[in-house]
Amino acid sequence: MSVVGVVGGGQLARMMIPAAINLGIDLKVFGETDVASAHLAVTQVGDYADFTQLARFAKGVDVLTFDHEHVPLEHLRALQEQGTTVFPPPQALALTQDKTVMRSALEELDVPQPLWAVIDDADDDAVSHVGNFPCIAKLPVGGYDGKGVRVVTQWSEIEDWLEKGPVLLEELVEFTRELAQLGARRPSGQWQAWPVVETRQQGGVCAQVISPAEGLNPSQASLANSLAENIADTYGVVGVLAVELFEKPSGDIVVNELAMRPHNSGHIFTEQSDTSQFEQHLRAVTDTALGSTRLRDNTGIMINLFGSAEFSTWQQCAGDFPSVKFHSYQKPSRPGRKAGHLALTGPTTAETLSEALAAEEAYKGAHS
């Protein structure tokens, strides 16, 4: 298998390009526009929700994979019937498309998660299932970067959502920090995980990642790894699986959500690990032995850049931060949109974080 087709032309597809070049994989991207972040590898532009267009793209590839989770499952099942290899397969992807499907699946696996309920209307009983107000409400489908998540103190705050369809209610978890367990699985079942990282959100969006998460005890680390492997095995995930976690004050960890593709929380592995998540995803979907996930440096820091990430701006401050790696997604600039990131590895968290933050400040200063 040497032709990998990626549906979606965002930054995740873009960052698969260097890994594909090194491995000698022919990467083809089905983008929504020809100014996609992954434009260097875009071979077809169109609408992935249109089966005819998707099938035309799938014809020219050995395996179909994704940069996002929005492709209709019925299209993917139909492609499988026509002989296309789809990784991750639709039965696995289903858990990432609808948060209520994910919650039911995790319940069946006995995976620790927040209390939850699905509601069709203002249902005071349902709130008692998840504790009380304030609780969390989520749109089951289509949310990202916190856009489908609200803290709710009374029903009027989600009236607009309830008019449209069912809403997922969750217990408001008083977490001490958010973590992520990433790993990859290949069709034969080989599973290879990276150490757990800490993710820091601002306004529901990942702002920073600290790798590895500091002070995690061995039982937390082994639980995070085994629950991720269990999910991957049970649903036949192929490729990268990211499991977002909350750590409670007791040290217990519960699952927030899943992604089955490279994930924002794993960008630091490009600099810090023997194998990047983009290379690992390509190895997994081509059924190739997975690479080592050893960390080469004690600490890795990733900081997201929002709005814009212009090379010309970075040029103005690059000289002061020769060890910091700048990644631009080459996306049209939009306020609040993830536009790129900075990555730095080093011997201690304190020093590395402070240098990475200084680089972020310098970048913002150069931009304004």
Ligand X SMILES: Nc1ncnc2c1ncn2[C@@H]1O[C@H](COP(=O)(O)OP(=O)(O)O)[C@@H](O)[C@H]1O
Residue 124 CB, shortest distance to ligand X, in Å, is 19
Work out what residue 247 binds among ligand X, Mg ion, none; the CB cut-off runs from 5 to 8 Å by kind.
Answer: none
Comparing CB distances to ligand X, the nearer of 244 and 355 is 244
Q: In angstroms, give the least distance from the CB of 143 to ligand X.
A: 5
C-alpha closest to that of 8 among 90, 65, 73: 65
**CB 28 within 8 Å of CB 44:** yes
Using CB distances below 5 to 8 A depending on partner kind, what does residue 9 bind out of Mg ion, ligand X, none?
A: none
- Residue 91 site contact among Mg ion, ligand X, none (CB < 5 to 8 Å, cut-off depends on kind): none
Pairing of strands 191-193, 177-185: antiparallel
Minimum separation from the CB atom of position 324 to ligand X (A): 25
- Per CB under 6 A, residues contacting ligand X are 114, 136, 138, 143-149, 170-173, 178, 201, 204, 244, 256-257
Which of residues 84 and 181 has its CB atom nearest to ligand X in the complex? Answer: 181
| Long-range CB contacts for residues 54-59, cutoff 8 Å, separation at least 24 | 54/7, 54/30, 54/79, 55/79, 55/82, 57/5, 57/7, 57/28, 57/30, 58/5, 58/82, 58/84
- Selection from ligand X, Mg ion, none that 136 binds (CB < 5 to 8 A by kind) is ligand X
Q: Report the residue number, 176 or 333, with the smaller CB distance to Mg ion.
A: 176
DSSP states along 334-356? -TT-EEEEEEEEES-HHHHHHHH
- In the complex, what is the shortest distance from the CB of residue 205 to ligand X, in angstroms, rounded to a whole number? 8
> Least distance to ligand X from the beta carbon of 28, Å?
27
Using CB under 5 A as the binding criterion, the count of chain residues that bind Mg ion stands at: 2
CB 240 within 8 A of CB 184: yes
Binding string to Mg ion for residues 240 to 259, with x set by CB under 5 A, is what? ----x------------x--
Shortest Å, Cβ 113 to Mg ion: 13
- DSSP per-residue letters across 251-312: S-EEEEEEESS--GGGTTHHHHBSS-HHHHHHHHHTT-PPPP--BSSSEEEEEEEES---HH
Please report, as ranges, the residues that interact with Mg ion according to CB under 5 A.
Answer: 244, 257
